[in-house]
Amino acid sequence: MTGKLVLVGTPIGNLGDMSPRAVEVLTSCDVIACEDTRRTGRLLQLMNIAKRPLVTVNDHTEYDQRDPLLDRVAGGEVVALVSDAGMPGISDPGERLVAAAAERGLPIEVVPGPTAMSSALVLSGLSGERFCFEGFLPRKGKDRSARLAVVAEELRTTVLYEAPHRVVRTLTDLQAACGGGRRVALARELTKMHEEVFRGSLDEALVWAPEHEIGEFVIVLDGAEPAADATDEQLVEALRAELETGRSGRDAVDAVSASTGAARRRVYQLMLALSE
């Protein structure tokens, strides 16, 4: 029999979302690698799946467990990987195990299941045509402010995860970085009894959220407005400013092109005219 690693999505709050294929794999696999043996044991019980051998794979054990689990796959066993909820590998352990399995050329399959990320996105009413997933922002310090600055400039819809007690703080930081008028959706308790979605501006979200800061949340943030096309005068002005900092002509062209989004060729022509 061919061994394989199977990534199995599990419900994010509603047992009805457990797929028949997920049940089949968890019933028939040789071992289940899971974040928390108690949570997964409880899921098996609720789904009437007979007890299976469970191995803990979390941020602390993923490295040590990697080789023994993949040796089992190489030996012909089926190893199922689940997280506490949703898709393993989405802000949950799994990514390193998959990378190591791929490196060893072992078969890897997926049983897709619910994930809070895409569920919130499609409920948000914001554009899902192009979006990016930020997961959890760094909790503090320079890393956090640097990510917030990137998120504020992002033109695509951004999906963020946040712990319930930090939602107001993160909305406050987003308001400071993006301005209070930026549109946002807060998807709360998805697939559970008290599922609820707030849609409005960041200013309005900061009125709503403190009264609803219970349960699990996804923040879906509208993309930034693309900057209006810069005029030739503005580009020349920006080039002069760059040159005054001591940059070479070529570096000034690169910097102005990157900061304004203007085509490099156009900025280069203006630079030539400027130096004549």
Q: Which residues bind ligand SAM (CB under 6 A)?
A: 12-13, 83, 85-87, 90-92, 115-117, 161-163, 187, 189-192, 216-218
Measured from the CB atom, is 115 or 257 closer to ligand SAM? 115
Instruction: In angstroms, give the least distance from the CB of 114 to ligand SAM.
Output: 7
Instruction: In angstroms, give the least distance from the CB of 118 to ligand SAM.
Output: 8
Measured from the CB atom, is 11 or 223 closer to ligand SAM? 11
Measured from the CB atom, is 58 or 172 closer to ligand SAM? 58
Measured from the CB atom, is 11 or 230 closer to ligand SAM? 11
Q: Give dist(CA 187, CA 33) in Å, integer.
A: 29
Instruction: In angstroms, give the least distance from the CB of 152 to ligand SAM.
Output: 20
Residue with the shortest CB distance to ligand SAM: 86
Q: Give dist(CA 210, CA 212) in Å, integer.
A: 6
- Whole-number Cα distances in Å, 204 to 143, 198, 199: 27, 9, 9
Measured from the CB atom, is 108 or 236 closer to ligand SAM? 108
Nearest of 147, 128, 131 to residue 139 by alpha carbon: 147
Instruction: In angstroms, give the least distance from the CB of 212 to ligand SAM.
Output: 12
Instruction: In angstroms, give the least distance from the CB of 270 to ligand SAM.
Output: 46
